Structure 1
Amino acid sequence: MATTPLAQEKVWFEKPMYDKAECLHFERLAKVDSIATFATTSGSSPEYGSRIVVLEKENQELKNIVAELKSIVGRLDERVKILEDRPPGIDPMRIAICPAKPPSPTPPKPTAKDDDDDDVDLFGSESEGEDEEAAKVREERLAAYAAKKSKKPALIAKSNIILDVKPWDDETDMKAMETEVRKIETEGLLWGAAKLVPLAYGIHKLQISSVVEDEKVSVDWLTEQIEAIEDYVQSVDIAAFNKI
């Protein structure tokens, strides 16, 4: 059966697409004409007409940006939905951050050779091989160390004591009182410098320093010895007490 050349043309099947394109073309022309007409009738200059065209272009760009943002929000919604669909009790951030724990390797099975090594006593061989001469040397070294340590002089604890010795009145001979105080002597006692410190109404007190060994001289004993000088001394106070 013969076909006409017109039946072989595809333009008839694509006519709706062509019609749509032609419609869009005329719509754009009409929009440009309307803008030009508005600019002419309103007395605006061509500059305002071009400005309107620029604003329409910017408006279209904003629409494109809004469409892109909507697409991004849609993808985020899908991700949130996936995270919300996870089983309860599981932290999605931990799943994303912490990798899965690798399986622990299976320890190798002990061989017959390893069993033989376990039976070896490494420390026993050393103690058993120690002879009498090595033990004798060790004992001699220990004895020498103990003897050296015993000869080391022990640290003697000492204290620096400053005493305030008060007289009866202003007529007391302070020089004589200091002499009587210094007459107190015993092992572990050493007198130091002394000076007169004014009290009141012309009365002075004798402030004298001393160094004592704590194990040999007590503070109470020293105070009692000074107060025993009743002709000159009324009382004794401790002004300072420091360990040396």
Structure 2
Amino acid sequence: KQEKVEPTKQEQASLSEQIRAVRKIINKIDTPNLTSTEMNTNTEKHLANIEATHINIFQMLYDLKRRVEQLESNQQSTSGKPIESQPAATNTDDDDDNDIDLFGSDDEEQSEETKKCLVDYTAKKANKENVIAKSTIVLDVKPWDDETDLEAMEKAVRSVEADGLVWGQSKLVPVAYGVKKLQIGCVVEDDKVGTDFLEEKLCGFEDYVQSVDIVIFNKAQ
């Protein structure tokens, strides 16, 4: 709740002077149609309105002053010190030199750090590019019948050579009625040797090979 403020002595004197001036003006007005009682009543009302208006003005000015002081107090408590006007910065040759020296070291450190990051990134990228994608494949090579020379068939299979192809272990697996198939593994580089290539080459040995099936296909780690 805002406190009421009484006018100061100086303000009261000013108000009294204005009231006296108003009284003088009213006394000079020719009011033949008004009785003395009516005139006095109107004058008193007018003076009361003037006095109330002045008091309201004083109250508003006081409230405004209090509000400004409160804002300044809050601002000072936030910043920890009174707000002072900052002088305009002047650029001199010495200041420019100091700025260059001051920030030059930071730029140099950032430049060195950037170069280091680029070197690390390039090395990692090169290592990643050097990693060759490989796959492990197990093939079932089926002969025509039980009279097929399986040893000769395996020799023919291993005769297939290509860049990125390495043959692994093999074994004979029984199928039915005395027929056995050749199960052989190999490791291939994905971008050089594919399953279509292997099937085409092995099926080319028509004297031994009836069909070729891919049993296992795993990406090498």
Q: With structure 2 as the length reference, what TM-score do the two structures score?
A: 0.51
SS of 1:148's equivalent in the other structure is: helix
- Following superposition, the deviation at residue 111 of structure 1 comes to 2.3
Q: Distance in 1 between matches of 2:113 and 2:103?
A: 11
- Identify which of structures 1 and 2 has the higher relative contact order when contacts are C-alpha pairs closer than 8 Å and 6+ apart: 2
Pairs aligned (count): 131
Q: Distance in 2 between matches of 1:169 and 1:177?
A: 12
2:144 aligned partner: 168
How high is the sequence identity, in percent, across the aligned residues? Answer: 46
Q: Distance in 2 between matches of 1:226 and 1:158?
A: 20
Q: Deviations over 1:62-92 (max 9, x none)?
A: xxxxxxxxxxxxxxxxxxxxxxxxxxxxxxx
Q: Distance in 1 between matches of 2:151 and 2:173?
A: 13
Q: Distance in 2 between matches of 1:143 and 1:196?
A: 54
Q: Distance in 2 between matches of 1:202 and 1:158?
A: 36
Q: Which has the larger radius of gyration?
A: 1
Which stretches of structure 1, 4 residues or more, deviate above 6 A after TM superposition? none
Question: Equivalences for 1:1-244 in 2 at 5 Å?
Answer: 109-111=74-76, 114=79, 129-131=102-104, 133-153=108-128, 154-244=130-220
Q: Distance in 2 between matches of 1:170 and 1:219?
A: 26
Q: CA RMSD in A?
A: 3.3
Q: Deviations over 1:195-243 (max 9, x none)?
A: 1111112211111111112222111211111111111101011122222
Q: Which stretches in structure 1 are left out of the alignment for 5+ residues?
A: 1-107, 120-125
SS of 2:75's equivalent in the other structure is: coil
